[in-house]
Structure 1
């Protein structure tokens, strides 16, 4: 069935077409905000021409993405875009929580709110794009010149919705108020003792929930020497030092529906406007430095020793980007990583 547009969406389509002519380089996520709509609605406008509505169990679809071969995985939030090329391998799901544990593509998927899916073909670029109930992109998969286009076409055909008459029901999203820097009274000594007794970095989330602390609040209550603020402008020197040293690192970017991880060295670093960029053949990162409200060096005990990370937090208290030295469970972190940070960052206070 051919897609039809309501009068309101016809007007949005006209505004969207005009916007693209005037602002050809604006990312669709930013365009949606300027047009007071959602990215999913802008993609849906193209159904029948540049987009195909997908249906079915997205878990099963993701399990078949490996058939496409070499692709580019893209996960982003408001402040950072993470693009990693490779093959979807070792895909598994436990209910709606999924893992992709390939050598290059490394993902944690939370499909409970993957509401809409589209196959998008525009300007010779072919992709699978997924959105949550708020119309925000959860994850995207782009074909590369090495991809199996025939496998892509077969996958799209298999999951094409029978009814292409798109009527997206988007949930309104409330703006989050900035969090106070200090929390209610807590037993600081007990909190710090539990921090020092951590066995795994993932246990930190449990600790925050137990004491009902936001990320910012928890870092201010950290045991002495386990968390300190650095200037947001430290990120460029850190990237440069990592590039020069060849030290392999881990770069985490998350939104509520997906975490994407790059593990390896980084090389080509440059700044363009507010964006700090890594532009390597298989890995790109685009980080808005002006979105960093607070940057922290955070140390967490594990059974393998201390793990040192960089955490970037925005004005709403959301941690949107993390960096670590390359490591795996059972292996201590690279000693060169904390040493590099100690000699590169500029501390606050």
Structure 2
């Protein structure tokens, strides 16, 4: 962070906008996320400070809003984490939401817009109309309780702008405040010591999985961290790869025209692309897919560890390439294209077989 901008944590909307104006005068193209980091606040707080100008606060019922996004026709869906951005063009058709005790989840399952939603984290929503080189760019943006972005929906030249304006007017929050209450998430808990885990039983449970969706409950049952499990189950189930794995997957998938699935998420949303990738571009530390309907931006400098994992299902083994940051958070996950009831693509397995394992230094 710029030391000159290390401010007190409690800033008024006027102070935030003053600092933002100074930043934009020096860096006209600075993005909201980066500007917020420079100022020392969350992106959600930055947007809230502009309520009444180019930002409208939306109601506290994101499910109702999401159920109506299809009226906007084709839009661009954006989900990101600290290290990777996933952008997909499409129409938000076939929404469904579920209540599991206190947990509320949602789904969009379509060829273009394919999302897994964890609604308990959706705290704030805004409609944004920001100036750009091509005119006013309109979007809907959703944030968690810490002010971090969960999901954004941008209008395109194929969108229904009248429907967007109607939706914003309909779901306008009754109180257009310029501040939001920010609450930090607790730090990640420490791993349970390896010595306290029955690895033989855990490994046998992994080997007897029937569905990939049963994997997270398995980790929770044994109180095991994801990478901790990978380190202890054996290379037939999890093998650490060289950190060129993500780039190699994209390169090999493009060269072979293999349809892949690309998962990128955060605590509130996972966004999925399924298809062939065609245009790969390196820009600084970022490796990018720049296709007409799908863009991916991956910061390779932030990759700490890469794994290939194999999970049994009723349809056979499902192979994933999982990419992690230094804190053990998933950055991006790759699969071969697959639907329930279908076996994994053999072409995908051939790609994974070509990925080099991590070199382990010999210890004298």
- Tell me how far 1:56 sits from its aligned partner: 4.4
Whether the 8 Å CA contact 2:192–2:223 is kept in 1: the answer is no
The size of the alignment, in residue pairs, is: 343
TM-score (norm 1): 0.94
- What is the aligned partner in structure 2 of residue 108 from structure 1? 116
- Tell me how far 1:167 sits from its aligned partner: 2.9
Give the distance between the partners of 2:301 and 2:170, measured in 1 at CA: 43
Correspondence 1:253-264 to 2 at 5 A: 253-264=264-275
Mapped pair 1:85 → 2:89:
yes
Whether the 8 Å CA contact 2:261–2:274 is kept in 1: the answer is yes
Give the distance between the partners of 1:26 and 1:321, measured in 2 at CA: 25
TM-score (norm 2): 0.90
- What is the aligned partner in structure 1 of residue 31 from structure 2? 27
- What is the aligned partner in structure 2 of residue 63 from structure 1? 67
Mapped pair 1:325 → 2:336:
yes
- What is the aligned partner in structure 2 of residue 134 from structure 1? 146
Q: Deviations over 1:78-117 (max 9, x none)?
A: 1111000000011011132111112200001111121111
Whether the 8 Å CA contact 2:290–2:296 is kept in 1: the answer is yes
Q: CA RMSD in A?
A: 1.8
- Tell me how far 1:241 sits from its aligned partner: 1.1
Pick from 120, 126, 129 the counterpart of residue 121 of structure 1.
129
Give the distance between the partners of 1:28 and 1:183, measured in 2 at CA: 42
Pair 307,7 (structure 1): closer, same or farther in 2 beyond 3 Å? closer
Give the distance between the partners of 1:115 and 1:84, measured in 2 at CA: 23
Whether the 8 Å CA contact 2:13–2:178 is kept in 1: the answer is no
Give the distance between the partners of 2:114 and 2:318, measured in 1 at CA: 19
Q: Deviations over 1:205-239 (max 9, x none)?
A: 11111111111100011244111111112322221
Mapped pair 1:313 → 2:321:
no
SS of the equivalent of 1:315 reads: coil
Pair 207,348 (structure 1): closer, same or farther in 2 beyond 3 Å? farther
Whether the 8 Å CA contact 1:195–1:223 is kept in 2: the answer is no
- Tell me how far 1:296 sits from its aligned partner: 0.3
Give the distance between the partners of 1:282 and 1:92, measured in 2 at CA: 23
Give the distance between the partners of 1:53 and 1:216, measured in 2 at CA: 39
Structure 1 gap segments, 5+ residues each: 1-5
Whether the 8 Å CA contact 1:181–1:216 is kept in 2: the answer is no
Whether the 8 Å CA contact 2:13–2:179 is kept in 1: the answer is no
Give the distance between the partners of 1:206 and 1:36, measured in 2 at CA: 36
Pick from 237, 241, 244 the counterpart of residue 233 of structure 1.
244
Give the distance between the partners of 1:235 and 1:346, measured in 2 at CA: 12
Structure 2 gap segments, 5+ residues each: 1-9
SS of the equivalent of 2:320 reads: strand
Correspondence 1:82-231 to 2 at 5 A: 82-95=86-99, 96-123=104-131, 124-173=136-185, 176=188, 183-231=194-242
Mapped pair 1:12 → 2:20:
no
SS of the equivalent of 2:212 reads: coil
SS of the equivalent of 1:126 reads: strand
Pick from 286, 293, 297 the counterpart of residue 282 of structure 1.
293
- Tell me how far 1:9 sits from its aligned partner: 2.8
- Tell me how far 1:26 sits from its aligned partner: 3.5
- Tell me how far 1:8 sits from its aligned partner: 2.9
SS of the equivalent of 2:64 reads: helix
Give the distance between the partners of 1:8 and 1:58, measured in 2 at CA: 26
Q: Deviations over 1:152-173 (max 9, x none)?
A: 0110010011221333111134
- Tell me how far 1:319 sits from its aligned partner: 1.6
- What is the aligned partner in structure 1 of residue 4 from structure 2? none
Pair 150,165 (structure 1): closer, same or farther in 2 beyond 3 Å? same
- Tell me how far 1:181 sits from its aligned partner: 10
- Tell me how far 1:321 sits from its aligned partner: 1.1
SS of the equivalent of 1:151 reads: helix
